[in-house]
Each structure stands twice: as C-alpha cells, then as structure tokens.
Amino acid sequence: AQSVAQPEDQVNVAEGNPLTVKCTYSVSGNPYLFWYVQYPNRGLQFLLKYITGDNLVKGSYGFEAEFNKSQTSFHLKKPSALVSDSALYFCAVRADTGGFKTIFGAGTRLFVKA
C-alpha cells in the first residue's frame, strides 16, 4: 500500500534562513513524487515533481527537493526563506505500477518569521 509521512506538523524558520520540510514515502514500484502548497481558503498549487532522472529537482518560487531512494525520502528545501512562503505544504506519491491514485501526506505548516 502507498503511504506518505510528513513527520513535522509545523516548521518554524526565520526569514533569510534555509528551510527544509521533510517527507518519506512507501510505494510498490517506482514512485512519482510531488510537492504542493496550499494557502488559506485556496486549492493546492503545484511546486515540483520527481519522475525519473536527476535526484535534485528544482521547482517554482526557488524551491527544490532531493529524491533519496535508499531513505525513501523527498525533502523540500529552499536556500533562503521568505515570509510569503508561510503556508501549508503537502507531499504526495503515486506508483508507476498502473494505479491512478495519488496519496497525500497530512501536511506541514511552515511559518517564516520576519
């Protein structure tokens, strides 16, 4: 069965500091991995994805994520946080073995303090 774990309910970081939002996954077969961001009363906005190839994936708004197969992780990172990055972040996984279901983590709330 597929699953996603986001071990931190909340991450606090000062503006200008690097940020990391953690994600680990479990899936049969090879994973397709995604990060989405959600602002209050809004739908989910796509940030980046890993399908195959380079383990370091670059996405929107300066975010990047590193796929680590041995640790089954896909942590989201940004070198320098902005106050406007404060939002709810979701990691998601879909298997490449023919299923169509995307499984989301419970989300991590990011607070960036000025």
Q: How far is the CB of 15 from another protein (least distance, A)?
A: 26
Using the rule CB under 8 A, is 46 a contact of another protein? Answer: yes
Using the rule CB under 8 A, is 60 a contact of another protein? Answer: no
Q: Give phi and psi for 3, each to the nearest 5.
A: -155, 155
Q: How far is the CB of 67 from another protein (least distance, A)?
A: 13
32 vs 111, which CB is nearer to another protein?
A: 32
How long, in residues, is the chain?
114
Map the footprint of another protein across residues 61-90, applying CB under 8 A.
90
Facing residues of 83 across strands? none
The string over 21-45, giving b where at least 16 C-beta atoms fall within 10 Å of a residue's C-beta and e elsewhere, is bbbbbebeeebbbbbbbeeeeeebe
The residues of the shown chain that bind another protein, judged by CB under 8 A, are 4, 32, 34, 36, 41-46, 49, 51-52, 90, 94, 96, 99-107
